[in-house]
Structure 1
């Protein structure tokens, strides 16, 4: 269910390729998948696979569906977003996000130069510049690359995923995609599958977890990546190890070459800059799912209901929107409904999605950063230590 049902909201809105072709599955066949998945609670995706027989150039909008059918509502919303994407320019689909990533990359040399200064102010400025730039590249870039949202080409998408996830973020591509794309997106807030438990550390106190432990995230990411590589086939593991080593050693070499730092100082500055935005990164990841309804793998609601009840948007924030991307901040609901849309496109369809959900009496959940922080500080034991209760959707109405 996780992969096939997601196709209805992700691949239906892929932009037209060269020559006017659309690289997606047959919408009519995926409608059958969604309707079948709405009644079949078996989370195993193999039960819901329908062979695609669509030919290149077979461009059509989603079929008309009956009101009140949850699968039909999902198809209708997908049709609206598909039409919006169809008339959007390359800049709106990819260019705006590439401009932000490119700007972040251009600021990195300035950060290296500042680190080489004897002035404490310039040194701290260098850490800030590298910290913000690193967040754009490793969070925004890696997140979009994992969903293949940076470009249309499949092959080029794999290259960008390797660059942003392995070279820049020190994590094997299969590790990031399995945990985030397949499990978290395929089974959002379904206990044991995509319930955000990866972010929980019940043996830590509230203050330590919320404000100290995130600073170790760069080191933990590297350790998690190395551990995952031990379970990969040897050839793929060596390939990932090569690119991760290239990124890590390359970062140290640039610090030593441009900033004039010694090996120890270069390593320290590298991890210091990479941990600068770690605290809000952890906060964002737990704020938007934990504390919302959790569901059983065998009695999960239909996809549109599951997403609207278990995903929350935070308000727009200039720093977080630029460093993490709209899909992780103010357009998280839109991102879970249409995971292959870029940050800018999610922001563009946000008014349409929110209006559609409210018109159909579905929740469109939003809350402020400070409100969620207060909730977690007050209820840390209940939310982050104890097992979350399973919620029956009927009780929410």
Structure 2
């Protein structure tokens, strides 16, 4: 077992520390307007929906540049709705209404992403957030494909995500009751067929194969950073066993990493998945905009308490995974021993 670098020498009242940080964050939230709490992110998602017609219409032109603009619009909008929208919806961060939270989760996860909403929420919220970096539970191991070599995984495997997502969804539907499976299958079919129909009738594609190829191209536009971000921010950091996992504030400060702000990814994936991932894991109910607002407070608090606040660049993490792929993505991760924290 390897000791965690930067781990504090003792418990240091972990519950008290987290309680104090929560109090300070809640003060910021209460002093914020609805626009800051939910409006900014709802507006980004609404703009993405409103931009879709322009993307479909651009594909009618034979000009290569205009066609590329159309693919870019559709691709960025697709990832904004499926990644940012689904992520916020599963955490009920878009609205304070339970009814609308349920509706939005079904729309973004099932219609837009083509994945069962309840399973997506369970695997992400209950498992990944509940057991962050606990080996075998919330350690991002679902993203590991040890039978692939580093170059296939880092460069080619992301292109399969748009194809594998609905296939995995179908496999998951075998495990739910027929009524729920029928609803999910209907919503997934609605989302996929709507895009296919619009490519044929709004974009003017003459053959089903060309429309399907365009769907795959648009849905693969940001597949590489999507896969990379999912592994960069947890794998390679301290991993814990279930019986010796640390207190929540230590688990999140040690096992989560922030990437720098990247404009396209900030828009399409959201701050909580890029530059505010630590803040998101500590306070998953916050919207992307609120995570960004409390980031200076959280980072300063953790540093004042001499707790880790992990940050690294996208390219530094990319080089790390490419150079140490066998160690990080093939072999079992070592369990971190946190002396004095258990």
Q: Does 1:104 align with 2:104?
A: no
Look up the match of 1:359: 304
Look up the match of 2:222: 277
TM-aligned CA deviation for residue 105 of structure 1: 1.4
**Equivalent-residue separation in structure 2 for 1:255 and 1:131 (angstroms):** 13
Look up the match of 1:50: none
**Equivalent-residue separation in structure 2 for 1:105 and 1:211 (angstroms):** 29
**Equivalent-residue separation in structure 2 for 1:232 and 1:161 (angstroms):** 18
Match of 1:124 among 63, 68, 82: 68
TM-aligned CA deviation for residue 174 of structure 1: 1.2
Match of 1:146 among 85, 90, 95: 90
**Equivalent-residue separation in structure 1 for 2:249 and 2:31 (angstroms):** 25
Q: Does 1:347 align with 2:262?
A: no
SS of 1:394's equivalent in the other structure is coil
Look up the match of 2:315: 370
Look up the match of 1:380: 325
Q: Does 1:94 align with 2:62?
A: no
TM-aligned CA deviation for residue 395 of structure 1: 9.2
Residues 175, 225 of structure 1: 8 Å contact kept? no
**Equivalent-residue separation in structure 2 for 1:185 and 1:350 (angstroms):** 19
Q: Which runs of 5 or more structure 1 residues have no equivalent in the other structure? A: 1-66
**Equivalent-residue separation in structure 2 for 1:104 and 1:286 (angstroms):** 26
TM-aligned CA deviation for residue 108 of structure 1: 1.0
Look up the match of 2:179: 235
Look up the match of 1:165: 109
Match of 1:216 among 160, 176, 183: 160
Q: Residues 174-323 of structure 1 correspond to what in structure 2 (within 5 A)?
A: 174-261=118-205, 262-323=207-268
TM-aligned CA deviation for residue 118 of structure 1: 1.5
**Equivalent-residue separation in structure 2 for 1:150 and 1:224 (angstroms):** 26
SS of 2:92's equivalent in the other structure is coil
The CA deviation string for residues 185-238 of structure 1, in whole angstroms up to 9 with x for no partner, is 000000011010000000001011001110110111111111101111111001
Look up the match of 1:51: none
**Equivalent-residue separation in structure 1 for 2:213 and 2:316 (angstroms):** 34
SS of 1:212's equivalent in the other structure is helix
Q: Does 1:156 align with 2:103?
A: no
Match of 2:281 among 314, 317, 336: 336
Look up the match of 1:85: 29
TM-aligned CA deviation for residue 107 of structure 1: 1.5
Residues 111, 126 of structure 1: 8 Å contact kept? yes
**Equivalent-residue separation in structure 2 for 1:118 and 1:311 (angstroms):** 46
Look up the match of 2:8: none
| RCO comparison, higher one (Cα < 8 Å, 6+) | 2
**Equivalent-residue separation in structure 2 for 1:102 and 1:350 (angstroms):** 25
Give structure 1 regions of 4+ aligned residues with deviation exceeding 3 angstroms: none
**Equivalent-residue separation in structure 2 for 1:149 and 1:143 (angstroms):** 9
**Equivalent-residue separation in structure 2 for 1:365 and 1:395 (angstroms):** 21
TM-score, length-scaled by structure 2: 0.95
TM-aligned CA deviation for residue 68 of structure 1: 3.3
Q: Which runs of 5 or more structure 2 residues have no equivalent in the other structure? A: 1-10
Give the aligned length.
Answer: 330
Residues 315, 369 of structure 1: 8 Å contact kept? yes
